[in-house]
């Protein structure tokens, strides 16, 4: 399928229509490479590292903008009653957790649909507010559960690297997953992490110092 360009200059409704896709196929208007590049450019290790200082009112505006966009997106799915809860993550990011009766369609196979949803919301919110701020889209705690698993994988890899004295290469991961590995091990004594590879093969390598 030919890939289409995603234009952040269009209004929200037009952007949503442009980015929607047949759920039986891969997303046509948001490529995996675009998701990878955008996520790596716009998800800092923590919100505190952002140069942009924001007030509580501005944070509320960011949340309102993201939630309004999500509600526009929900119109393209048969989701029934949906609730979006907002809270602050451990790294200072704004987390929007979507709950409802049957939301598997928003997660997709291996979380691919959720990755595209994350890209879409982050990109349009940034366009609307004029600067970057970490907004994480979750579905019924899916990413929270994934985070627990990934943190366990990260610590295990660090221990193996230290015990063997050799670098440990992890499986290919999404930008969000790699970010969690880096965050978990950034203060872990004796190891460092780096992302290597391109596209769908990009992965984290844990190296003993």
pLDDT of residue 25: 37
**Confidence band, pLDDT 50/70/90 cuts, at residue 108:** confident
**Confidence band, pLDDT 50/70/90 cuts, at residue 197:** very high
Q: What DSSP string describes 48-64?
A: GG-S----HHHHHHHHH
pLDDT at 115 over 90: no
pLDDT at 127 over 70: yes
In percent, the amount of the chain with pLDDT more than 70 equals 75
CA distance 23 to 176: 21
- Reference 206, options 156, 146, 143, 149; nearest CA is 156
Question: For residue range 149-162, what is the model confidence (pLDDT) as tens digits?
Answer: 999 999 999 999 99
Question: For residue range 26-56, what is the model confidence (pLDDT) as tens digits?
Answer: 443 444 444 444 444 444 444 444 446 788 8
CA distance 44 to 93: 9
All domains of the chain in start order, with CATH: 12-140 (3.30.300.20), 144-208 (3.30.1370.50)
Contact 69, 12 (CB under 8 A): yes
pTM beyond 0.85: the answer is no
């Amino acid at each position: 399928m030919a890939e289409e360009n995603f234009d952040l200059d269009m209004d929200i409704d037009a952007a949503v229509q442009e980015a929607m896709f047949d759920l039986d196929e891969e997303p046509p208007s948001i490529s995996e490479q675009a998701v990878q590049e955008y996520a790596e450019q716009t998800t800092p290790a923590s919100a505190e590292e952002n140069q942009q200082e924001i007030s509580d009112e501005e944070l509320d505006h960011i949340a309102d903008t993201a939630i309004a966009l999500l509600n526009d997106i929900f119109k393209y799915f048969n989701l029934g009653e949906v609730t979006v809860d907002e809270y602050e993550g451990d790294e200072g990011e704004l987390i929007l957790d979507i709950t409802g009766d049957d939301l598997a369609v928003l997660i997709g196979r291996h979380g691919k649909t959720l990755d595209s949803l994350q890209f879409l919301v982050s990109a349009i919110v940034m366009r609307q507010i004029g600067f970057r701020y970490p907004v994480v889209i979750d579905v019924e705690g899916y990413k929270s559960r994934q985070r627990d698993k990934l943190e366990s994988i990260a610590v295990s890899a660090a221990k193996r690297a230290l015990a063997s004295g050799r670098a440990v290469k992890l499986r290919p991961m999404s930008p969000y997953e790699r970010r969690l590995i880096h965050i978990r091990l950034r203060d872990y004594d004796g190891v460092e992490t780096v992302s290597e590879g391109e596209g769908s093969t990009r992965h984290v390598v844990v190296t003993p110092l």
